[in-house]
A = this chain, B = another copy of it.
Amino acid sequence: MSDRKFSAKAASPSKSRSRLANPKMRGARPDRGVLNGHLGYFMRRAQVWVFQDFIRTLAPVDIRPAQYSVLVVIGANPGLSQSDISDILAIERARLVRMLDRLDRRGLTLRLPSDRDRRSHAVHLTREGQKLLKQAKMLAAQHEAKLAELFGPANRQIMIEILREFEARSSAAQAPR
């Protein structure tokens, strides 16, 4: 039951005098378990760690997680519009514009005119983008192997399954706003 503090109350007001002024508290180890019942807290801490490891592992190709996801989606679906990509990855359209500006400048992606809708662009990887994505995928696999090591391969798989199911349910249910 790591969840026993799920609904723990706040320290009652009468106990809130300084722990340093309180003989019983003096030198006591601070309670690090107060957030144990909060899933979001642990998800956040773990997610930050995972992204930092991803960024470090992919430093040789200078690709960040969001950029990586965009390159992978374009690589698998050349010709998608920017709206399509925004939709699939839940990246704001406005944010994707800036990201593609930068990837374009680096010579990795290309925005061609769409042949069916003159408002939209068909986004592609350049040959260089394809080459870099290949490298990036190898590095990402290294990163993923490290996660398998740290979580344990079974736990990594369980997490992926639970989270994918959650994504389906949470997007089907109601969006939080």
Q: Chain A residues in contact with chain B, CB under 8 A?
A: 2-3, 6-11, 13, 15-22, 25, 30-32, 34-56, 65, 69, 72-73, 75-80, 84, 88, 90, 112, 114-116, 122, 124-125, 127, 130, 133-134, 137, 140-141, 143-144, 147, 150-151, 155-167, 169-170, 173, 176-177
Contacts and interface: CB of A to CB of B under 8 A. Distances in A.
Q: Which 10 residue pairs across A and B have the least CB separation, nearest first?
A: A42-B163, A19-B79, A18-B79, A52-B176, A40-B50, A34-B76, A10-B75, A30-B77, A53-B176, A43-B47
A47 B159 CA distance: 13
Nearest to A151: B166
A55 to B, nearest CB: 8
A87 to B, nearest CB: 9
A40 to B, nearest CB: 4
A6 B141 contact: yes
A56 B150 contact: no
A173 B150 CA distance: 9
A16 B124 contact: yes
B167 A42 contact: yes
A83 to B, nearest CB: 11
Given A44-B51, A134-B10, A162-B151, A144 B78 contact: no
Contact of A47 (B21, B47, B52, B55): B47
